Structure 1
Amino acid sequence: MAYLLSEGSEQFDRSFLAASEQKLADVILAALPDSVTPLRLTRIGVIGAVIAAAALIGCRWSHAWLPVFVAGIAINWLGMALDGPLARRRALTHPRLDAIGQTNDLMSQVLLIVMFGASPFLSLQSALVILACYLLFSAYNYVRTIALQARPMTYIGIGPTEFRILMTAWPFAALAGGIDVTAPGGATRLDAAMLILAAIGVAGLAVKALADARRLAAEE
C-alpha cells in the first residue's frame, strides 16, 4: 500500500494483475461504508496475516488448516491492498498513515515467510533465504522510490498481490509434489533449489540497481 504516491507518476512497473486488481478494488471500495477507514483496513490486513501464520503451523498436524490459511491470505490482501486506495479516494493521505501501513505490510509478510519455515511445506533454512531476499528487495525498493521519485517497482511482473498468490499456491504445489520437510531428508533438494533461485534473484536485482544508477548519473 502507499498513501502518498501519486497515481500520475510515470516511472513505475506494473505487475501482471495490476489492471484486474484495480478494477476489483474499485468495486469493493465503492461498496465500503463510511465506518470503514484506511487504518481499520490496515488492521484487518494484519489480522489476516496472523490467521494465515497460525494456519501454517496447524498444517504440521493436519492439512485441514489449509482453507484457513487461504482465508487468512485473502483477508490480508483485502486490508493491505485497499487501505492506500481508500485513503486516496477519501483524500485522507497522511505521512503517519503511510508509515503505519508500510510497516504493518512489511511485518505481515515477514511473519508469513518465517511461519512457512514452521510448516511442512518449507524448511526453516529455505524460509530464511526467502526472507533475506525479500528484505533486500524491499530495502532497495524503498531507496529506489525515494531516489527516482518512482512508484514501487515489481520483480519480473511480480508485485505484492502476485507474491501473495504464490504463497497461497505453494502449499498445494508442495502437496502435489510430495514435499514434506518434516520427513528425514525432505528438504535437501528444496533448500538447494531455493539457494539457486535466490542467487538468480539477487543477480537480477544487482543488474536493476546498476541500470538505475546509470539513469541517475545521466540525469545529473
Structure 2
Amino acid sequence: MTDNAPPSPPPIDRIQENLLARSERRLLTWICARLPAWVSPDMMTFLGMAGAVMVFAGYVLSNLGEDWLWLAIAGYAVQWLGDSTDGSLARFRKIERPRYGYFLDHSCDGLATTLVLAGIGLSPYVQMEVALIALAGYLLLSIHAFLRVRVLSEMKLSYLNAGPTELRFLLIAFTLAMMAFGASGEGWFGPVSGFDLFTGICGTVMIVLFTQATWSTARRLAAEEPSRNGEWRARH
C-alpha cells in the first residue's frame, strides 16, 4: 500500500539565547499547566493579535493625549501572553501541527510587528519614515530566520542575547519615556528628536545584524556545499 501522506518536515532546532529564555520558559510551562482545556493554541495566537491591535490603537490615540499610551503598554502584555503561549501550549499538550503552526504563527508575527511600528510612526513621538527603518530591520531579521529554517533546519530566535520578550520590555521602556519626556524631545540632540534617533539606531542595528548573519550563513553553506564549477569545466 502506498502512503500518500505528505512527508513530515525535518525537526527544527530552536536557537534561543536571550537573557530571559530560561525564566520565561518556566513561566510559560506554569501558565500552560493551568490553562483550561477549552483554551486552544489558536485562541492564544489570536489573543496575541488582539494585543498588537491594542498597541497600535494606543499609539495612534496618543495624538489625543499621552494617557492612551497605557493602552499600548497593556497591549504589549496581552501580545506577549498570546504570542509566547500558543506554541508552548501545543508543545505542552503534545498536539503540535508543525506546518500549520509555523505558518500561522509567523504570519501573525509579521502582521503584529507591522501594527506596532506603524502605530509608533503614527504617534506624535516618532516620524513614520524612521519607524519604517525599524520595521525593515525587523522584517529582514525575520526573513533571515525563516531562510535558516529552510537551509539549516534551525530557527534563530535571538540576536545579541535579546529576543522578542526583551524587545517588548525595551518598547515598554520606550513608551514610558514618551510619557515622561513628551512628544517633542527638544533639547536632546538639537533638531533631531531623541525618539527618532533611538528608533533609527535600532533599525540600523537590525539591518547590520541581518547583513552580518547573511554573510556568516552564506559562508557556512558554501563550506558545506563546495563549488562544483571545476567539475562542470572538466566535463565540457
TM-score by length of 2: 0.80
Instruction: Give identity over the alignment, percent.
Output: 31
> 1:145 aligned to 2:171?
no
What is the Cα deviation at residue 17 of structure 1? 0.9
Q: Which amino acid aligns with 1:32?
A: L
Give the structure 2 partner of residue 61 of structure 1.
Answer: 64
Give the structure 2 partner of residue 106 of structure 1.
Answer: 110
What is the Cα deviation at residue 5 of structure 1? 8.5
Secondary structure of 2:15 counterpart: coil
Are 2:134 and 2:202, in contact at CA under 8 Å, matched by a contact in 1? no
> 1:19 aligned to 2:22?
yes
Q: Cα gap change, 1:140/1:54 in structure 2, threshold over 3 Å: closer, same or farther?
A: same
Are 2:61 and 2:68, in contact at CA under 8 Å, matched by a contact in 1? yes
Q: Cα gap change, 1:38/1:143 in structure 2, threshold over 3 Å: closer, same or farther?
A: same
Are 2:184 and 2:193, in contact at CA under 8 Å, matched by a contact in 1? no
- Specify which of 132, 135, 139 is matched with residue 135 of structure 1: 139
Which is higher, the Rg of structure 1 or of structure 2? 2
What is the Cα deviation at residue 102 of structure 1? 1.4
- Specify which of 163, 169, 172 is matched with residue 159 of structure 1: 163
Q: Which amino acid aligns with 2:15?
A: F
Are 1:41 and 1:83, in contact at CA under 8 Å, matched by a contact in 2? yes
- Specify which of 202, 213, 218 is matched with residue 207 of structure 2: 202
Secondary structure of 1:117 counterpart: helix
Are 1:179 and 1:186, in contact at CA under 8 Å, matched by a contact in 2? no
What is the Cα deviation at residue 194 of structure 1? 4.3
Secondary structure of 1:83 counterpart: helix
Are 1:15 and 1:159, in contact at CA under 8 Å, matched by a contact in 2? yes
What is the Cα deviation at residue 186 of structure 1? 8.9
Give the structure 1 partner of residue 228 of structure 2.
Answer: none
Are 1:46 and 1:76, in contact at CA under 8 Å, matched by a contact in 2? yes
Please tell me the root mean square deviation across aligned C-alpha atoms, in Å: 2.5
- Per-residue CA deviation, residues 8-30 of structure 1 (Å, 9 max, x unaligned), is x3x72411111111011011111
What is the Cα deviation at residue 98 of structure 1? 2.5
Give the structure 2 partner of residue 83 of structure 1.
Answer: 86
What is the Cα deviation at residue 145 of structure 1? 2.1
TM-score by length of 1: 0.86
Q: List runs of 5+ in structure 1 lacking aligned partners.
A: none
Are 1:117 and 1:126, in contact at CA under 8 Å, matched by a contact in 2? yes
What is the Cα deviation at residue 192 of structure 1? 5.0
Secondary structure of 1:151 counterpart: strand
Q: How does 1:115-126 map to 2 (within 5 A)?
A: 115-126=119-130
Q: List runs of 5+ in structure 2 lacking aligned partners.
A: 1-8, 226-236
